[in-house]
Chains A and B, each alone.
Chain A
């Protein structure tokens, strides 16, 4: 960020607020571009992973090599589709819901450090910010469900509200565990701590448990199977976005895949070393070398977790509403607190677990 401001100052003589705005515009534009390209890739990946698990081939024709352009074609098709707003729907709310949903998740990406220095804002409360801003998405979904004036949408929205709000407790509690060890909310501190010590997943069994709890509850937060109740195709047709079509529908899609990305990225950053390579000390490297390697390493880790999310989706059946709730409150929440307290005790006595 600072580097960008400096760059604008040098190149165009911009100063103060002007340079800041220009730098923000560039950052947001690049994140937006990244999210779009990533979503297209993730959708293509999802289809390929699903197809290969299901002994199919998936898209093979569009674009030549293994149908790589299928998502592009889908995006073009969605762009040109007629924009339908149901007659009885609340048009303004119906219109604004996809934007609200997308903004919440998109904003979370601002604080993410992709590599040394590749970060829009280095917030001190980075983790907190992501969790907080991602909650806005629920409001958007409820708006969408209510404004659609469809019973299926309403069911989906209410399910989403109950589920996501409940699962924020284990998510946040599980996130507190690595925060407790590192002693900071800042995402960059996790990278430096894990570069200096070891990956947090190996710190103690409680951190591994916290990672599992976070991963499971983040699935629920992303509305991924086995927690895809708000969409629940076989029960609610398509859940809260039943009435949406065209570009608005694709915003919900973007949101789903972006939140998957954020969840996977948090898992990678907080527990799996962030942009650090295992067994390699990259702190002394030249930034020009460390930056691309850091981005690649982080994205590789993230995509591994995204793959696991997809793998789970195509393996498991869907839970029922009350089972989702009981799983959250009876299993994840207590164990998240157990992990938190046990980590506190563990670190107080300075026990080691693995010879790291």
Chain B
């Protein structure tokens, strides 16, 4: 801004200044996928920004209208590929609502357990990549160490490392045993120690606080009007969590956990540091939920009996519509499905949290510097697979 005003922008003059258009992405180390942001730069300061999405569009919603209800489950894995379990869960709940079936009690507890494990894994990625965005490479590897443990745990029960396809309409694919739960609680013990270490290394680091505090301030009003959800909304001071407010699984009703909200500890409420810190504290809350799940998990079937036939004959829900929303690591994931009684839905729509959270980016960037742009994009923690679907 300053430089542009200091010199003339008249192009006929001998020396004139002009805006520099910088193309951040779609192939760029810090855009978390194939996001393209066009920035108008005045030196290091961003004067304007245009967000460009769609590079990872795979017609997931249209595919949903052409495959059966069960067959769409693996496609939901591939939307938010860092939190497949949570996506499976949302889709399964939607189909169950359409069919008016409820998963057995044990299945619900297993679902909560694996969903929270996956939430930790997803937030670990957010933590690690945020460090990389700001130039600290080491936290990323520490985060991946713990994520690897989670992936190996989930691999043991689901058979895949990332795209689990574990939670299915009617329950979960496989039952879990006590040995596995012991491993999970061992992981929880280990993780709590590591979490303290992350904070020493990155959270409390002076340079890190300087880079994130007072940067990319998302006000409560802006967050609400743009439909931001999840940690992005909570960091702006709104205590809204579907697990508490609309408990969609039994365990969330029975377990004790807190909803971390932003407090503006090192700067203004709703800045990058708050978003980061909300995620970090959510990991510890997830560990609490996991501990209680392991303690309270009831015996029983892991899959509703009437649903087992869905593998051979496609599910045919009665005509109607259903919308179910779940608290994903990134926010509120909703599936809207309309059935006409056929094998596949006639409308299958996803409300992706990353998409709504990304919509505030253009409003946060102007006035900040290029390094802040990277910090802001990282703090929104988007997954382009979900934004573009």
* A/B contact in complex, CB under 8 angstroms: yes
Q: Is the Cβ of B369 less than 8 Å from the Cβ of A225?
A: no
Q: Is the Cβ of B30 less than 8 Å from the Cβ of A55?
A: no
Proximity bits, B116-159, A CB within 8 Å = 1, else 0? 00000000000000011111111011100100000000000000
A21 touches B (CB below 8 Å): no
Query: Which B residues between 21 and 45 are near A, CB-CB below 8 angstroms?
Result: 22-23, 28-30, 44
Q: Enumerate chain B residues within 8 angstroms of A53, measured Cβ to Cβ.
A: 138
A124 touches B (CB below 8 Å): no
Closest to B22 in A: A151
Q: Enumerate chain A residues within 8 angstroms of B135, measured Cβ to Cβ.
A: 225-226, 228, 232-234, 316-318
Stretch of A189-197, A251-259, A291-299, A319-327 that contacts chain B: A319-327
Shortest CB distance B152–A (Å): 16
Q: Enumerate chain A residues within 8 angstroms of B322, measured Cβ to Cβ.
A: none
B349 touches A (CB below 8 Å): no
Q: Is the Cβ of A316 less than 8 Å from the Cβ of B136?
A: yes
Shortest CB distance B348–A (Å): 36
Q: Is the Cβ of A317 less than 8 Å from the Cβ of B374?
A: no
Q: Is the Cβ of A55 less than 8 Å from the Cβ of B137?
A: no
Dominant secondary structure at the B interface: helix
Stretch of B207-215, B237-245, B251-259, B352-360 that contacts chain A: B207-215
Shortest CB distance A317–B (Å): 4
Q: Is the Cβ of A151 less than 8 Å from the Cβ of B134?
A: no
Q: Enumerate chain B residues within 8 angstroms of A317, measured Cβ to Cβ.
A: 131, 134-136, 202, 205, 207-208, 211
B63 touches A (CB below 8 Å): no
Q: Enumerate chain A residues within 8 angstroms of B141, measured Cβ to Cβ.
A: 54-56
Closest to A50 in B: B137
A237 touches B (CB below 8 Å): yes
Q: Enumerate chain B residues within 8 angstroms of A314, measured Cβ to Cβ.
A: 137-138
A74 touches B (CB below 8 Å): no
A244 touches B (CB below 8 Å): no
Closest to A227 in B: B135
Q: Is the Cβ of B369 less than 8 Å from the Cβ of A54?
A: no
Cβ contact of A319, chosen from B29, B138, B142, B211, cutoff 8 A: B211
| CA A151 to CA B207, docked complex, whole Å | 27
Given contacts A234-B133, A237-B29, contact A321 B371 (CB under 8 A): yes
Q: Is the Cβ of A233 less than 8 Å from the Cβ of B29?
A: yes
Cβ contact of B30, chosen from A50, A229, A235, A316, cutoff 8 A: A235
Query: Which A residues between 223 and 250 are near B, CB-CB below 8 angstroms?
Result: 225-226, 228-229, 232-237
Q: Enumerate chain A residues within 8 angstroms of B29, measured Cβ to Cβ.
A: 233-234, 237
Cβ contact of B205, chosen from A56, A229, A316, cutoff 8 A: A316
B201 touches A (CB below 8 Å): yes
Given contacts A55-B142, A322-B369, A323-B210, contact A237 B28 (CB under 8 A): yes
Q: Is the Cβ of A320 less than 8 Å from the Cβ of B137?
A: no
Dominant secondary structure at the A interface: loop
Q: Enumerate chain B residues within 8 angstroms of A30, measured Cβ to Cβ.
A: none
Q: Is the Cβ of A235 less than 8 Å from the Cβ of B208?
A: no
Given contacts A235-B30, A321-B44, contact A315 B138 (CB under 8 A): yes
| CA A251 to CA B136, docked complex, whole Å | 25
Chain A, interface residues (CB within 8 Å), range: 20 to 34
Query: Which A residues between 46 and 103 are near B, CB-CB below 8 angstroms?
Result: 50, 53-56
B308 touches A (CB below 8 Å): no
Given contacts A317-B211, A323-B210, contact A235 B370 (CB under 8 A): yes
Closest to B141 in A: A54
Shortest CB distance A216–B (Å): 12
Shortest CB distance A332–B (Å): 15
Q: Enumerate chain B residues within 8 angstroms of A151, measured Cβ to Cβ.
A: 20, 22-23
| CA A151 to CA B23, docked complex, whole Å | 9
Q: Enumerate chain B residues within 8 angstroms of A272, measured Cβ to Cβ.
A: none
Q: Enumerate chain A residues within 8 angstroms of B142, measured Cβ to Cβ.
A: 54-55
Q: Is the Cβ of B201 less than 8 Å from the Cβ of A315?
A: yes
B271 touches A (CB below 8 Å): no
Closest to A234 in B: B30
| CA A321 to CA B370, docked complex, whole Å | 9
Q: Is the Cβ of B132 less than 8 Å from the Cβ of A234?
A: yes
Q: Enumerate chain A residues within 8 angstroms of B369, measured Cβ to Cβ.
A: 320-322
Closest to A323 in B: B210
| CA A353 to CA B258, docked complex, whole Å | 54
| CA A50 to CA B137, docked complex, whole Å | 9
Proximity bits, A20-59, B CB within 8 Å = 1, else 0? 0000000000000000000000000000001001111000
Query: Which A residues between 305 and 341 are near B, CB-CB below 8 angstroms?
Result: 314-323
Closest to A319 in B: B207
| CA A130 to CA B369, docked complex, whole Å | 34
| CA A314 to CA B22, docked complex, whole Å | 29
Q: Is the Cβ of B371 less than 8 Å from the Cβ of A320?
A: yes
Q: Give chain B's interface residues, CB within 8 Å of chain A.
A: 20, 22-23, 28-30, 44, 131-138, 140-142, 145, 201-202, 205, 207-208, 210-211, 369-374
- For the complex of A and B, 6 pairs with smallest distance between CB atoms: A318-B135, A54-B141, A317-B136, A234-B30, A317-B134, A320-B371
Interface pairs (21), CB distance under 8 Å:
A50-B137, A53-B138, A54-B138, A54-B140, A54-B141, A151-B22, A155-B370, A225-B135, A234-B134, A234-B135, A235-B30, A316-B205, A317-B134, A317-B136, A317-B211, A318-B207, A318-B371, A320-B210, A320-B372, A321-B369, A322-B44
| Given A155-B22, A317-B136, 12 further pairs, Cβ under 8 A | A55-B145, A151-B20, A229-B371, A235-B30, A235-B373, A237-B28, A314-B137, A314-B138, A315-B136, A315-B138, A317-B208, A318-B136
